[in-house]
Amino acid sequence: MDILPNSMSFRFVTTLSVEDDDDIPADFTGRVRKSTNGVLEYVAWFNRGELEDPGPRTPAYSRYRPDGAVKQVRHYRLGRLHDPAPGFPAVRGFYANGSRRYEEHFRYGRRHDVRGRPAIVKWRLDGSVRVELHYYEGLRIEMIGPRPTVLVRAASVPPISARSARSAAV
Residue-wise DSSP of 4-15: EEETTEEEEE-E
What pLDDT sits at residue 101? 98
Give the CA distances from residue 30 to residues 2, 4, 60, in Å, rounded to whole numbers and listed in that order. 10, 12, 10
**pLDDT per residue as tens digits for the range 72-87:** 999 999 999 999 998 8
Are 153 and 147 in contact, with CB atoms under 8 Å apart? no
Are 162 and 50 in contact, with CB atoms under 8 Å apart? yes
| This prediction's pTM | 0.80
Least confident of 3-7, 70-74, 84-88, 144-148: 3-7
What pLDDT sits at residue 78? 92
- Exposure string over 5-27, b if 16+ CB within 10 A, otherwise e: eeeeeeeeeeeeeeeebeebeee
**pLDDT per residue as tens digits for the range 24-53:** 999 999 999 999 999 999 999 999 999 999
Instruction: Delimit the domains of the chain by residue range.
Output: 2-169
For range 109-135, the mean pLDDT: 94
pLDDT at 170 over 90: no
d(CA 97, CA 8): 35
* Highest mean pLDDT of the ranges 64-68, 138-142, 160-164: 64-68
Residue-wise DSSP of 24-80: S-TT--EEEEEEETTEEEEEEEEETTEE--SBTTB-SEEEE-TTS-EEEEE-EETTE
